[in-house]
Amino acid sequence: MMQGDGVVDLATSLGYLLKEASSALRLAMEAVLRPLGMTVTHYSCLELLAQRPGLSNSELARGAFVTRQSMNVLLQALERDGYVTRPAEAPVGKALPTRLTPLGRRSLATASAAVRAVEVRMLSGMTEAEQSAAHTSLQSMIRSLRGADEGR
């Protein structure tokens, strides 16, 4: 991982490889979502809501790895276009539980199929054991990085 002068060697750096893989995945997802008029964050939001209905704006933001301000902008657009609904008043606290509309569910269905195909392609060259190993490796990296980096 080191070079003679102590500079990180990008060619073998796991950090660089992680960024490269993430970039490739994002590009592939954008490629299949663009024809559907959807961005990756847009899709992530709908997918999160399908699996965990009633998530708040802040919870969606954390799940999609963006700030709550960014997610708020997206949610306002999704609400305006009829993909999600939010109550006018918070049932408890300030958090507004968000839910998919039938339109949102239909929109997600096609997008989800497209994204699933991308993920299948991504895993096509790996054995079950390799996939499992990748799973534990990534979780280990996340755990280590989060530890000393609380708060944002």
Specify the residue, 75 or 108, whose C-beta has the smaller distance to a second copy.
108
Residue 63 engages a second copy in binding (rule: CB under 8 A): yes
Helix (H, G, I), strand (E, B) or coil at 59: helix
For residues 11 to 50, the per-residue mask of contacts with a second copy, x marking binding by CB under 8 A and - elsewhere, is -xxxx-xxxxxxxxxxxx--x---------------xx-x
CA distances from 23 to 8, 56, 80, 117, 145 (A): 20, 28, 30, 17, 19
Taking the complex as a whole, the smallest distance from the CB of residue 43 to a second copy amounts, in Å, to: 10
For residues 27 to 66, the per-residue mask of contacts with DNA, x marking binding by CB under 7 A and - elsewhere, is ---x--------xxx--------------xxxx-----xx
CA distances from 143 to 1, 86, 102, 132, 135 (A): 21, 33, 37, 17, 12
Helix (H, G, I), strand (E, B) or coil at 99: strand
Sites of contact with DNA (CB under 7 A) = 30, 39-41, 56-59, 65-70, 72-76, 90, 92-96, 152
